């Protein structure tokens, strides 16, 4: 539509600020390793080496060695350079203390501690605490020690590299200064303060070994000639539990199709080479888009086209990929974007950076790809509506609709009342040229039907997700319908029309065929405006065709992703509706059974003279609507004689126990089934029979 937004709406739109969407994050399932697991008492030396087991069963070995350049270089606690402390250092407790004492400053005196994990792990994190500077021995400016720490890691290659090569691997407290490949305590820090903490966080980097070199720097002008004892504390470790780091990719491996053409997507599940486990029990859900009809799948495992779930069916080893190709046809208008998304929904092993089945689109177990249907956009050709019993037109030109009303009923030919109920979560707009207060009937926005009236829905919706819902309730079941929705279009920064149409038949959904105009495209039972259509033009028309029986029509109108978050005024118009008249089809069946005979009685009776035979005539309405004034006949052949007074009726042959007399008068003829006999002719009658309902009449005869 070419409506101008009112000033208030425009101002509100210009002031809107779109908040950035924060991506969802996933925490890996973690294992922990506590140094208390070594069984060493508080203040006691750690065996060299020491092996501790993490919560997931992974072993962690701790060992150390010293180098010295002569002079005194001695341990501080329990005659060991490494001891266990249950006390608090920084923000953690239960650490390994590395402590030494120099008789004179010598940077060549070092304690080299190596931590070796039983497997290469990701997500490794721990801290080195109490890295600081000591003061006090040489006046207020004197320095008694400066802690010097170098941290290196080995990914499993056998060689070490410094963490200072990547700033993302560490963060240091305010008492610590980085200098080259080392971290130096340049400020004083209390033992429990985090200002002396060096945090290590390796994230996706795989780590097999950590090497920590601890030494001293007392080279300043006012530094003491004999430094005090120095210590640092290594906290407990945390790292990703053993698992399979899965990722999913989706690619289109066929040419871009036209409407009616074929497309093939390839799903690939990869288990990272750094994974510690094979992935089993892996399933992938493919959210196949509207406008796509599945035809086949090939590759690893099996694909269920009912649930759209791919079951990989075998373990995926670290470093291995498995793939599945899904093929089908496209039934969307040229220019329509088709987006296909998929997600890993189950895996028996933990994943370090994603959670299967959580719907998070930012994780690597979710994949999506989009293409635009090929071909030049043209107005579609609507299918013909074939009506076996003829059609009836609901024509707005002969109807009255009070402007602004949202609930109206009209007589549809002689069939019955048709109802229109409209709900709108936003505001209805008003303009005399468009019939006044919407919803209203008018002739201006007519989709090219000059001079004809349409039901105009002109709205200002509060947000992009809000929808106007028009529910059309039919007087009875109709065998099909066809109508036009005008002005489904788009205006940049103002609106992007979205229309979805659905039918109901006895509560079950019925999906119509939508035919696009020049300024919109169709995917499934939805139409999307992506071009501007002027008042009175046919460019924005969408033709809706129901080829199946329906008793309700539901039209949902609103916006889609091209619209601003707070759309401006927008509108569509609903044209006349052509209905296929309902039909009634009656089907009859007849069964019989032998009740008795003169010789055997009721014990396995036979078809012999004198035997009594019971017949049941069943009538069923297999049509779409109620059948009225029903009359059925059954003639008794000469070989049989009717048993007087034996006629009964009911809904089924089993329940046909209501007595009917032999004549065609009195109350039994309308209760509600009538039955009578005249000569050899049985007549069955009923005033009406609903769609799907049955009625039955039983009677007895004797074999002559």
Domain boundaries, the chain: 30-240, 246-372, 391-580, 586-703
Asked if the bond preceding 672 is cis, omega within 30° of 0, the reply is yes
How far is 163 from 550, CA to CA, in rounded Å? 69
Q: Which pLDDT score, from 0 to 100, does residue 135 have?
A: 79
Q: Are 318 and 275 in contact (CB under 8 A)?
A: yes
Q: Are 550 and 477 in contact (CB under 8 A)?
A: yes
How far is 254 from 256, CA to CA, in rounded Å? 7
pLDDT tens per residue, range 166-210: 999 999 999 999 999 999 999 999 999 999 999 999 998 999 999
Q: Are 286 and 297 in contact (CB under 8 A)?
A: no
Q: Alpha helix locations (H) across 391-500?
A: none
Nearest to 106 by CA among 244, 16, 225, 259: 225
Longest dimension (CA), the chain: 138
Instruction: Give 113-147 as a DSSP string.
Output: EEEEEEEEESS-EEEEE---EEE-SSSTT-EEEEE
Low-confidence ranges of the chain (pLDDT < 50): 1-27, 138-140
- Helix, strand, coil share (%) of the chain residues, nearest 5: 5, 50, 45
Query: Which pair of tokens denotes residue 80?
Result: 């060991």
Contacts of 367 (CB under 8 A, 6+ apart): 248, 249, 250, 267, 341, 342, 343
Q: Which pLDDT score, from 0 to 100, does residue 225 have?
A: 61
Are domains 246-372 and 391-580 of this chain identical in fold?
Answer: no
Q: Which pLDDT score, from 0 to 100, does residue 223 have?
A: 58
Q: Are 416 and 477 in contact (CB under 8 A)?
A: no
pTM of the predicted model as reported, rounded to 2 decimal places: 0.65
Q: Which pLDDT score, from 0 to 100, does residue 45 have?
A: 96
Q: Are 183 and 110 in contact (CB under 8 A)?
A: no
The CATH-assigned architecture of domain 246-372 is: Sandwich (2.60)
Q: Which pLDDT score, from 0 to 100, does residue 217 have?
A: 85
The CATH-assigned architecture of domain 586-703 is: Sandwich (2.60)
Q: Are 664 and 614 in contact (CB under 8 A)?
A: no
Q: Are 613 and 701 in contact (CB under 8 A)?
A: yes
Helix (H, G, I), strand (E, B) or coil at 663: coil
CATH number of the structural domain 391-580:
2.60.120
| Residue 246: strand pairing partners | 271
Residue 14 has, within 13 A of its CA and on its CB side, a CA count of 7
Q: Which pLDDT score, from 0 to 100, does residue 27 have?
A: 43
How far is 494 from 482, CA to CA, in rounded Å? 30
Backbone angles phi, psi at 35, to 5 degrees: -65, -20
Q: Are 542 and 520 in contact (CB under 8 A)?
A: yes
Burial pattern 390-403, b for ≥16 Cβ within 10 A else e, equals ebbebebeebebeb
CA 204 → CA 55, 352, 355, 675, 692, distances in Å?
20, 9, 16, 84, 64
């Amino acid at each position: 539509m070419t409506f101008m937004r009112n000033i208030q709406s425009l101002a509100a739109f210009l002031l809107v600020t779109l908040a950035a969407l924060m991506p969802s994050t996933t925490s890996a399932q973690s294992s922990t390793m506590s140094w208390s697991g070594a069984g060493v008492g508080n203040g006691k030396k750690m065996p060299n080496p020491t092996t501790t087991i993490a919560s997931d069963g992974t072993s962690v070995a701790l060992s150390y060695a010293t180098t010295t350049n002569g002079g005194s270089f001695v341990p501080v606690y329990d005659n060991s350079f490494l001891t266990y402390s249950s006390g608090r250092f920084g923000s953690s407790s239960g650490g390994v203390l590395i402590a030494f004492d120099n008789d004179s400053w010598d940077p060549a005196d070092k304690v080299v501690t190596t931590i070796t994990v039983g497997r290469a792990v990701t997500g490794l994190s721990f801290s080195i605490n109490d890295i600081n500077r000591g003061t006090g021995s040489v006046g207020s400016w004197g320095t008694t020690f400066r802690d010097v720490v170098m941290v290196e890691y080995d990914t499993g290659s056998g060689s070490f590299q410094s963490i200072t090569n990547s700033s993302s691997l560490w963060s240091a407290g305010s008492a610590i200064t980085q200098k080259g490949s080392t971290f130096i305590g340049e400020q004083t820090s209390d033992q429990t303060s985090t200002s002396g903490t060096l945090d290590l966080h390796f994230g996706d980097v795989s780590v097999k070994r950590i090497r920590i070199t601890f030494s001293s720097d007392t080279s300043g002008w006012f530094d003491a000639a004999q430094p005090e004892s120095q210590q640092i504390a290594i906290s407990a470790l945390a790292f990703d539990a053993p698992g399979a780091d899965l990722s999913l990719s989706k690619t289109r491996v066929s040419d871009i199709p036209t409407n009616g053409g074929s497309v093939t997507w390839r799903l690939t599940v990869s288990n990272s080479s750094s994974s510690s486990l094979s992935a089993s029990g892996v399933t992938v859900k493919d959210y196949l888009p509207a406008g796509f009809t599945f035809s086949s799948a090939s590759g690893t495992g099996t694909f269920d086209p009912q649930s759209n779930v791919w079951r990989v069916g075998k373990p995926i080893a670290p470093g291995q990929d498995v793939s599945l190709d899904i093929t089908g046809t496209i039934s969307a208008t040229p220019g329509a974007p088709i987006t296909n998304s998929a997600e890993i929904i189950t895996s028996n092993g933990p994943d370090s950076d994603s959670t299967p089945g959580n719907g998070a689109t930012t994780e690597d177990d979710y994949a999506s790809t989009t293409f635009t249907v090929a071909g030049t956009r043209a107005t579609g050709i609507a299918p013909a509506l074939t009506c076996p019993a003829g059609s009836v037109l609901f024509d707005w030109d002969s109807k009255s609709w009070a402007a602004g009303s949202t609930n109206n009923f009209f007589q549809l030919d002689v069939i019955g009342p048709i109802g229109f109920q409209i709900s709108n979560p936003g505001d209805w707009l008003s303009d005399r040229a468009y019939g006044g207060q919407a919803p209203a009937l008018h002739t201006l926005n007519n989709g090219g039907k000059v001079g004809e009236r349409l039901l105009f829905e002109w709205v200002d919706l509060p947000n992009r997700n809000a929808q106007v819902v028009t529910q059309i309730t039919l007087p009875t079941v109709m065998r099909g319908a066809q109508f036009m929705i005008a002005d489904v279009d788009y205006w940049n920064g103002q609106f992007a029309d979205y229309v979805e149409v659905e039918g109901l038949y006895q509560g079950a959904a019925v999906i119509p065929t939508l035919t696009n105009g020049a300024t919109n495209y169709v995917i499934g039972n939805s139409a999307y405006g992506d071009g501007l259509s002027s008042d009175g033009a046919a460019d924005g028309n969408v033709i809706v065709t129901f080829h199946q029986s329906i008793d309700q029509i539901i039209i949902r109108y609103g916006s889609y992703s091209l619209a601003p978050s707070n759309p401006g005024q927008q509108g569509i118009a609903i044209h006349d509706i052509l209905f296929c008249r309902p039909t009634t089809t009656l089907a009859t069946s007849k069964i019989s059974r032998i009740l008795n005979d003169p010789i055997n009685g009721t014990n396995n009776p036979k078809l012999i003279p004198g035997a009594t035979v019971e017949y049941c005539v069943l009538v069923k309405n297999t049509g779409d609507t109620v059948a009225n004034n029903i009359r059925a006949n059954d003639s008794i052949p000469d070989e049989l004689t009717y048993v007087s007074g034996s006629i009964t009726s009911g809904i089924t042959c089993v329940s046909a126990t209501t007595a009917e007399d032999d004549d065609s008068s009195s109350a039994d003829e309308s209760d509600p089934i009538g039955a009578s006999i005249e000569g050899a002719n049985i007549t069955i009658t009923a005033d009406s029979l609903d769609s799907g309902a049955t009625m039955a009449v039983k009677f007895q005869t004797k074999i002559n």
